């Protein structure tokens, strides 16, 4: 996770809140000790949000998620950590993550499949696309 944070920080140059939130999300998704993307899917599914998160991975329409559901899915500690990294309140973090999370997961799962191989490289490509 530290390497991913470092590279993303270099690309973004300490950018705006959205970039910092994406950085924090990629850190979570790239953390294989926490289960990475599969761990996130399992975490959301265990809290009754499986249909929503699976829609982001699938090839159909991405279902929306509310800030309250983001809070429910990620948990208070993770939201607090993300908010601190982005320099925002937890409420602002969940509000913005409700828009970003579906996009990030969708872009990291082309063709409806979880990424194989280097998530860091895929995350960097995602950031380049979002910054255009």
pLDDT of residue 17: 82
CB count, 10 Å around CB of 108? Answer: 21
* Residue 52: strand, helix, or coil: helix
- Which phi and psi angles does 131 have, rounded to 5°? -85, -5
pLDDT of residue 126: 54
What is the domain-level CATH number for residue 36?
A: 1.10.10.690
pLDDT of residue 127: 52
CB count, 10 Å around CB of 97? Answer: 26
Rounded Cα distance, 78 and 2, in Å:
17
**Range of the structural domain that residue 108 is part of:** 2-130
Residues in Cβ contact with 57 at an 8 Å cutoff, skipping those fewer than 6 apart: 41, 105, 106, 109, 112, 113, 114
Rounded Cα distance, 87 and 72, in Å:
21
Question: Mind listing the pLDDT tens digit of every residue in the chain (132 residues)?
Answer: 444 444 444 444 445 788 888 888 888 877 777 778 888 889 999 999 999 999 999 888 999 999 999 999 999 999 999 999 899 999 999 999 999 999 888 888 877 766 555 444 455 455 555 544
Rounded Cα distance, 27 and 34, in Å:
10
Domain count, the chain: 1
In DSSP notation, 64-116 reads: P--HHHHHHHH-HHHHHHHHHHHTS-HHHHHHHHHHHHHHHHHHHSGGG----
pLDDT of residue 76: 95
pLDDT of residue 75: 94
Provide the token pair at 23. Answer: 């950085």
């Amino acid at each position: 996770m530290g390497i991913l944070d470092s590279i993303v920080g270099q690309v973004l140059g300490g950018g705006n809140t959205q970039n910092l939130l994406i950085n924090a999300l990629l850190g979570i998704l790239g953390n294989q000790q926490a289960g990475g993307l599969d761990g996130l899917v399992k975490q959301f599914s265990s809290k009754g949000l499986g249909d929503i998160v699976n829609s982001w991975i699938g090839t159909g329409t991405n279902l929306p998620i509310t800030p309250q559901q983001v809070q429910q899915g990620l948990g208070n500690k993770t939201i607090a950590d993300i908010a601190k990294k982005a320099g925002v309140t937890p409420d602002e973090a969940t509000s913005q993550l409700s828009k970003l999370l579906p996009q990030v997961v969708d872009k990291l799962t082309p063709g409806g499949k979880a990424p194989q191989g280097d998530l860091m490289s895929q995350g960097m490509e995602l950031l380049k696309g979002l910054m255009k």
